[in-house]
């Protein structure tokens, strides 16, 4: 177990140095097709969670610049309004709306989605909000905070918005996961990490693996929508500076910009090229890549994946206003 964990972490870090850094982005970008992002998305509607900062804000700006209506879903009014102002100023697009929502609060998410659906259309949902809380903390509902935000919140928002997405031709759901998930295998016996010593980085990696599995399952269940999940690379954002200070100190000169981190998010959300790939894949730098390291034994069984979905569905239903799923 310890040897496998050491193997996974070492292989992953070496891969990261080569591929996830600014240098990795620049090498990959030589093969990008510029025209892929020369798209006018006027008339289309995009929702981005955690859009007041980092990768989410950079993605929102890129989409606004191309004419899209952008719904910024954020938990803090001041930070959200500031981001909205900045996006409008820098894009010249006034169709930028703020919605206040805490992604770790399942009941609020159901209520938000129900209201949103009656008032808006939605072509693309970008599940970007994420956190790495380094101590084991519980939300007011008694759910481990990383799991509540990164997994249950993402699950409920996506499930609740499916009907409005299914109304649109070519709807997409893009989920911002992390290459960190490559070091973890789905563990349905301890989704909220109640056993053993709590490690925020590992909790985060588990959550990001769970997002990949969710995407694969959604792709099978909802063929009308194109689902993708991605790794943005290592980008210089508040999350990295605050939650991983040691990593940040070591890597700060090699980190990607927020725009470079957002590049594949935007590509998956708006390009025609992205939806030529099958639904449900894991992307890095505009390419589908394996969601497993070689010989890392991180594949989960169909049984475990079904159990995982069932647990999420049961948890989600507990907070739903009426029977929703």
Question: What positions carry a catalytic annotation?
Answer: 204
Residue (145 or 322) nearer to ligand NAP, CB: 145
In the complex, least distance from residue 73 CB atom to ligand NAP, rounded to whole angstroms: 7
* Rg over CA atoms, the chain: 18
Query: Cα dihedral angle (277, 188, 183, 286), rounded to 10 degrees?
Result: 20
Tokens of 261: 């981190």
Give yes or no for residue 200 binding ligand NAP (CB under 6 A): no
- In the window 138-177, what residues touch ligand NAP (CB under 6 A)? 149, 176
Residue 45 has what DSSP assignment? E
Give yes or no for residue 261 binding ligand NAP (CB under 6 A): yes
Residue (111 or 168) nearer to ligand NAP, CB: 111
- Cβ 175 vs Cβ 225: under 8 Å: no
Give yes or no for residue 103 binding ligand NAP (CB under 6 A): yes
Q: Which stretch binds ligand NAP (CB under 6 A): 26-34, 217-225, 226-234, 279-287?
A: 226-234
- In the window 34-53, what residues touch ligand NAP (CB under 6 A)? 50, 52-53
Tokens of 73: 């879903």
Distant-in-sequence, close-in-space partners of 207: CB < 8 Å, separation ≥ 6:
130, 146, 147, 150, 151, 181
Residue 294 has what DSSP assignment? T
Element containing residue 272 per DSSP (H, E)? none
- Cβ 39 vs Cβ 271: under 8 Å: yes
- Cβ 211 vs Cβ 283: under 8 Å: no
Tokens of 287: 């390419």
Give yes or no for residue 24 binding ligand NAP (CB under 6 A): no
In the complex, least distance from residue 216 CB atom to ligand NAP, rounded to whole angstroms: 18
Give yes or no for residue 19 binding ligand NAP (CB under 6 A): no
In the complex, least distance from residue 220 CB atom to ligand NAP, rounded to whole angstroms: 23
What pairing do the DSSP bridges indicate for beta strands 281-284 and 287-288? antiparallel
Give yes or no for residue 76 binding ligand NAP (CB under 6 A): yes
- Within a 10 A sphere around the Cβ of 132, how many other Cβ atoms? 23
Give yes or no for residue 79 binding ligand NAP (CB under 6 A): yes
Give yes or no for residue 130 binding ligand NAP (CB under 6 A): yes
For the chain, the straight-line distance linking the first and the last C-alpha, in angstroms and rounded, comes to: 37
Give yes or no for residue 116 binding ligand NAP (CB under 6 A): no
Give yes or no for residue 54 binding ligand NAP (CB under 6 A): yes
Give yes or no for residue 238 binding ligand NAP (CB under 6 A): yes
In the complex, least distance from residue 286 CB atom to ligand NAP, rounded to whole angstroms: 16
Footprint of ligand NAP on this chain (CB under 6 A)? 50, 52-56, 74-76, 79, 102-104, 128-131, 149, 176, 178, 231-232, 234-235, 237-240, 261
């Amino acid at each position: 177990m310890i040897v496998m964990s050491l193997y996974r972490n070492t292989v992953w870090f070496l891969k990261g140095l080569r591929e996830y850094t600014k240098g990795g982005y620049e090498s990959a970008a030589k093969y990008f097709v510029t025209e892929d992002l020369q798209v006018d998305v006027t008339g289309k509607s995009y929702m981005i969670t955690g859009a007041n900062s980092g990768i989410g804000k950079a993605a929102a700006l890129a989409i606004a610049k191309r004419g899209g209506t952008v719904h910024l879903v954020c938990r803090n009014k001041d930070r959200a309004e500031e981001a909205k102002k900045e996006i409008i100023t820098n894009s010249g697009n006034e169709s930028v709306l703020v919605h206040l929502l805490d992604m770790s609060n399942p009941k609020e998410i159901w209520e938000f989605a129900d209201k949103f659906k009656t008032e808006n259309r939605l072509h693309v949902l970008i599940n970007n909000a994420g956190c790495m809380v380094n101590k084991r903390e519980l939300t007011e509902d008694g759910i481990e905070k990383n799991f509540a935000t990164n997994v249950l919140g993402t699950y409920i928002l996506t499930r609740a918005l499916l009907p409005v997405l299914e109304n649109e031709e070519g709807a997409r759901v893009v989920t911002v996961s992390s290459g960190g998930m490559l070091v973890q295998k789905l563990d349905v016996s301890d989704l909220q990490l109640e056993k053993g010593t709590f490690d925020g980085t590992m909790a985060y990696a588990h959550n990001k693996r769970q997002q990949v599995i969710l995407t694969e399952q959604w792709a099978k269940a909802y063929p009308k929508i194109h689902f993708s999940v991605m790794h943005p690379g290592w980008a210089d954002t508040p999350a990295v500076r605050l939650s991983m200070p040691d990593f940040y100190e070591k890597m700060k000169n090699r980190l990607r910009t927020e725009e470079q981190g957002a590049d594949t998010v935007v590509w998956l959300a708006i390009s025609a090229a992205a939806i030529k790939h099958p639904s449900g894949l894991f992307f890095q730098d505009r390419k589908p890549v394996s969601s497993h390291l070689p010989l890392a034994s991180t594949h989960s069984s169909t049984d475990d994946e079904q159990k995982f979905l069932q647990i999420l569905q049961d948890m989600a239903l507990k907070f739903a206003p009426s029977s929703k799923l």
